[in-house]
Chain A
Amino acid sequence: MHPVLTLVVQRIALGLLLLFAVSAVIFLGVAALPGDTAQAILGQSATPQALANLRAEMGLDQPALTRYFNWLGGILTGDLGTSLSNRTDIATAIGQRLGNTLFLAAWAAVISVPLAILLGLVAARYNGRWPDKLISGVTLSTISLPEFVVGYLVLYFLAVKWQLFPSVAMVFPGMGIMERLNAVILPVIVLVLVVLAHMMRMTRAAILNVMQSAYIETAELKGLSPMRVIWRHAFPNAVAPVVNVVMLNLAYLVVGVVVVEVVFVYPGMGQYLVDHVAKRDLPVVQAVGLIFAAVYIGLNIMADVISILANPRLRHPK
């Protein structure tokens, strides 16, 4: 077997073990948190009697370990169980929310990743001159404003003042693709503004780092145009840091966009997790936690594999 393939198989196996560990850690963590599912659901005005009844019905009177193994048994047979707080089927609810989250993340990624890399290349090409400064200045300003500030400004100008797009990005099953796209435009704009700078800055830095190497000098002496040197010779050697930063931002787009979801009323995974952590609804928290963990682990594997494939010395180890 090719060494890269071996690595992938090995990492996936370890990844599954890691998921198991993550689920245990989340379970222990949330179970140890002060606060109580029944109280959280019934709110401030519940009586102790009602709380006790609800706890019994939700099976919270059983020991934590029993509940964990029951849950684990369910997962292994493909059953995510039902939510404690509203007794809905978790798989259905998550299916919808995850679809929404991936839809939003995919559009934001498709726009931001190529744009960031392109801007990074341009900034590196014109290092220290005005295009570089302009690109850096603009992207750094948008990244350094808190997400909700970018969100509010976009909301105010594009939805309220000029009324170009709907302020509420609510999507629901049965919606046409064009309607859906129209709904997510504002959150996509905000997400692109938020993730652009990191990837762009890293592309620029990584390329400037390899521009000093001897082989670049050779390429330049061959009389190739600067952009061609950067794209064909410098960029492939700058892939490792860039790809890691890209993966970090992709992970953020999937698991970390709760603020943007709240501002644009977008029904994604972030708010779903926050609501259920607040209610200490463990089966849901566990299920969402597993998905988020899988995203991180999967993206990290991808980043490592791409880094290896991009580097000839790593691709063909001696």
Chain B
Amino acid sequence: MRIPISALVGMVFTGAFFLAAIFAPLIAPYGMAEIVGGVWDPASEAHWLGTDAIGRDLLSRMIYGGQTTIFVASAATVLSFTLGSVLGFSAAVAGGWTDQGLSRLVDLVMAIPALILALVVLSVLPVTLTVLILVMGLLDSTRVFRLARAVAVDITVMDYVEAARLRGEGWGWIIFREILPNALSPLVAELGLRFIFAVLFISTLSFLGLGVQPPLADWGGIVKENASGLVYGIPAALIPAFAIAALAISVNLVADWVLSRTTSLKGGRG
């Protein structure tokens, strides 16, 4: 099996980001909260990326921030996909009132402004990373549900699904053997994008007070902390923004490759 260069690049970067996240305390040159310099010091021997708005080493903050960002975004994406696609497929296969009930419930959750939802959650639940992941995962799962159901509805009317039903196969068999392989491609594409949205959403919620607590910050949060310097080209604002873009592109390069693999897996013309 030959892996295309773009996928290789994607995997190397994604891998590097994940490794840096896992081994953050070992490789970060300074503490995450340690004040070691002046405001927005430029890059130097001691601080490869310079310092942030209150004089902390930017590289160290990026490494620790990457840990939070990647962990929370991955967990939320996995949750939203598992929940959203399983429920979406079930709704499509079951049809009738099960479908109607689930779909309208999703409409309801989507229709409540996220700001209000977040504030309500904040006022009744403790602020922990678990709650952050749950909120992000649940909100996103409604979007995944809509997509999964729409794709699955198209598939359930195919002859081979009819045939499977007539053979008396159970739901599980239909969902995992018939629908999932044929719906994988749009779902994988969605997964890549949902991951990006999750990365960006963390800092939105954190700034509401729901999520990452200072001195810890995710990448989006680091951009925000230094936002006023952005248009003056201050690295502390630009570098985390570029890091998010780099992560997003590498994850999606991998997703593209998986996507091309899945389309060929399905058979057809190999």
- Tell me the A residues contacting B by CB distance below 8 Å: 14-15, 18-19, 21-22, 25-26, 29-30, 32-34, 127-128, 133, 136-137, 140-141, 143-149, 152-153, 155-156, 160, 197-198, 201-202, 204-206, 208-209, 211-214, 217, 237, 240-241, 243-245, 248, 251, 255-256, 273-274, 277, 285, 288-289, 292-293, 296-297, 300, 303-304, 307, 311, 313-314, 317
The 10 A-B pairs of least Cβ separation, nearest first, read A205-B189, A144-B248, A293-B111, A209-B185, A212-B268, A313-B157, A156-B231, A241-B186, A240-B150, A144-B245
Select which of B100, B111, B150, B220 is within 8 A of A244 by beta carbon. B150
Contacts of A256 in B (CB 8 A): 114
* Contact A141 to B245, CB < 8 A, known contacts A146-B203, A201-B189, A311-B154: yes
Within B203-217, the residues touching A (CB, 8 Å) are 203
* A277 contacts B186, C-beta separation under 8 Å: no
- Tell me the B residues contacting A by CB distance below 8 Å: 4, 6, 100, 104, 107-108, 110-117, 119-120, 123-124, 143, 146-147, 150-151, 153-154, 157-158, 182, 185-186, 188-190, 192-193, 196, 199-200, 203, 220, 223-224, 227, 230-231, 237, 241, 244-245, 247-249, 252, 256, 259-260, 263-264, 266-269
Minimal Cβ-Cβ distance residue in A for B243: A144
* A148 contacts B227, C-beta separation under 8 Å: yes
* B193 contacts A201, C-beta separation under 8 Å: yes
Q: List 19 A-B contacts (CB under 8 A).
A: A25-B108, A133-B6, A136-B252, A140-B252, A145-B244, A146-B223, A152-B230, A202-B189, A205-B186, A208-B260, A208-B263, A241-B151, A248-B143, A273-B113, A277-B115, A277-B116, A288-B113, A311-B154, A314-B153
* Contact A155 to B268, CB < 8 A, known contacts A18-B107, A146-B223: no
Whole-angstrom CA separation of A141 from B153 in the bound complex: 32
Contacts of B192 in A (CB 8 A): 201
Minimal Cβ-Cβ distance residue in B for A306: B150
Contacts of A198 in B (CB 8 A): 193
Contacts of B6 in A (CB 8 A): 133
* B146 contacts A248, C-beta separation under 8 Å: yes
* B230 contacts A149, C-beta separation under 8 Å: yes
Whole-angstrom CA separation of A112 from B146 in the bound complex: 21
Give min CB distance, A242 to chain B, whole Å.
9
Whole-angstrom CA separation of A285 from B115 in the bound complex: 11
Whole-angstrom CA separation of A122 from B172 in the bound complex: 37
Whole-angstrom CA separation of A202 from B223 in the bound complex: 28
* A289 contacts B113, C-beta separation under 8 Å: yes
* Contact A208 to B185, CB < 8 A, known contacts A141-B245, A152-B230: yes
* A307 contacts B150, C-beta separation under 8 Å: yes
Whole-angstrom CA separation of A33 from B231 in the bound complex: 37
Give min CB distance, A6 to chain B, whole Å.
13
Select which of B107, B110, B189, B231 is within 8 A of A153 by beta carbon. B231
Whole-angstrom CA separation of A241 from B143 in the bound complex: 11
Contacts of A26 in B (CB 8 A): 112-113, 116
* Contact A311 to B157, CB < 8 A, known contacts A140-B248, A205-B189, A300-B146: yes
* A212 contacts B263, C-beta separation under 8 Å: yes
Give min CB distance, B163 to chain A, whole Å.
14
Whole-angstrom CA separation of A152 from B110 in the bound complex: 29
Select which of A30, A153, A240, A296 is within 8 A of B154 by beta carbon. A240
Select which of A143, A204, A293 is within 8 A of B112 by beta carbon. A293
Q: Which of A152, A198, A240 has the most CB of B within 10 A?
A: A240
Contacts of B247 in A (CB 8 A): 144
Whole-angstrom CA separation of A206 from B186 in the bound complex: 5
Minimal Cβ-Cβ distance residue in B for A25: B112
Give min CB distance, B229 to chain A, whole Å.
10
Minimal Cβ-Cβ distance residue in B for A202: B189
* Contact A143 to B248, CB < 8 A, known contacts A153-B231, A240-B153: yes
* Contact A292 to B111, CB < 8 A, known contacts A144-B200, A149-B223, A152-B231: yes
Contacts of B100 in A (CB 8 A): 14
* A30 contacts B116, C-beta separation under 8 Å: yes
Minimal Cβ-Cβ distance residue in A for B147: A244
Contacts of B199 in A (CB 8 A): 144
Contacts of B227 in A (CB 8 A): 148-149, 152
Give min CB distance, A145 to chain B, whole Å.
5
